[in-house]
Chains A and B, each alone.
Chain A
Amino acid sequence: MVDQLLSYVPLSLHVFMALATLTIAGACGVAFSSNIVYSAFSLLASFVGVVGLFGFLSHDFLAVVQLMVYVGGILVLILFAVMLTNKIQDVGTSNPSSNLPMGLGVLGAILSILLAAVFQHDWAVKAEPGPYEPTAQMVGAAFLGEYLLAFEIAGLMLLAALIAAVVVARKEVKKEGDAQ
């Protein structure tokens, strides 16, 4: 039975379904878990699923960037924030939700609007998606050619964000003799 099913459906669909399940299950964990630490680790599953999807779509450089920045950077930052802002005794209710019926209504409404848009519009699709090929060289040439100005501005923005994060998050140290 299972073998028959496997022979009908192409392998790419199985791979896609596995990655999509990982991504959406992770997103569900983020949305519905009542413990913020579980939410953070579900976010890890979701990010890893998206890395796989980027690889599936032959964006290999982007997949590595996603893995390094999201999983290696943003997720660790989020985990630090979770550990620094929650007390150990409120593990069970560290991630409370409000207005569940309204939230589910909004979820259903947005999802139905988006799916209606996806299925009603006639998207211009390529006949053949093209072969899998490495993209790093192409992306590098684009960043130092056509998109150079945007690249420089993005670097400046990251520097500004870095300084802003340090300034906002540091503890103010008051000297002994300071006027109140």
Chain B
Amino acid sequence: MSVGLTHFLVLSSILFSLGFYTVVTRKNAVGILMGVELILNAANVNFVAFARYGELPNPLAGHVFPIFGIMIAAAEAAVGLAIVLAIFQTWGTIDTEKTTSLQQ
């Protein structure tokens, strides 16, 4: 049995589920952002696996889309962590169960 599309789909399913679990259960806002990164990585693995193994009308898309995904992830991480730092400066904590209001 050689490595095929199914292997990568199973891997990215597990990666996505673990990322979603992290987003759902974490109280630390930075931990939640880590879960989002895992989810984005799972999506990128899927794009690349389909580009290599799947029958696509335009195989170039599988090379280009993950790079856009990484760009989005970089922008999301920068703005998200800046917001986390701003919340920490205002509240003194980033526990999402304590920071429940938009104002002080």
Contacts and interface: CB of A to CB of B under 8 A. Distances in A.
Q: Do A and B bind each other?
A: yes
Interface of A: 9-10, 12-13, 16, 20, 23-24, 27-28, 30-31, 36, 39-40, 43, 46-47, 50, 53-54, 56-59, 61-62, 65-66, 69-70, 73-74, 77-78, 80-82, 84-85, 94-100, 102-104, 106-107, 110-111, 114-115, 118-119, 123-126, 129-130, 135, 138-139, 142-143, 146-147, 150, 154, 157-158, 160-162, 164-166, 168-169, 171
Nearest to B19: A27
A130 B18 CA distance: 31
A100 B26 CA distance: 10
A59 B48 contact: yes
B13 A81 contact: no
A56 B45 CA distance: 11
Contact of B64 (A57, A85, A99, A142): A142
Contacts of B8: 53, 57
A43 B5 contact: no
Interface string B4-27: 111111110111111111101111
Contacts of B49: 57
Smallest CB-CB A-B distances: 5 pairs: A161-B75, A169-B82, A103-B25, A114-B13, A165-B82
Contacts of B55: 124-126
A168 B11 CA distance: 36
A69 B74 contact: yes
Contact of A169 (B5, B15, B85): B85
B48 A57 contact: yes
Contacts of B33: 78, 81
A77 B70 CA distance: 15
Given A12-B2, A84-B85, 7 more contacts: A20-B11, A30-B22, A54-B48, A69-B73, A123-B9, A130-B52, A169-B81
Interface string B63-104: 110111011111111110111111011000011010000000
A114 B44 CA distance: 16
Given A115-B10, A126-B53, A24 B21 contact: no
B75 A31 contact: no
A133 to B, nearest CB: 12
Contacts of A125: 4-5, 53-55
Contacts of A85: 29-30, 84-85, 88, 94
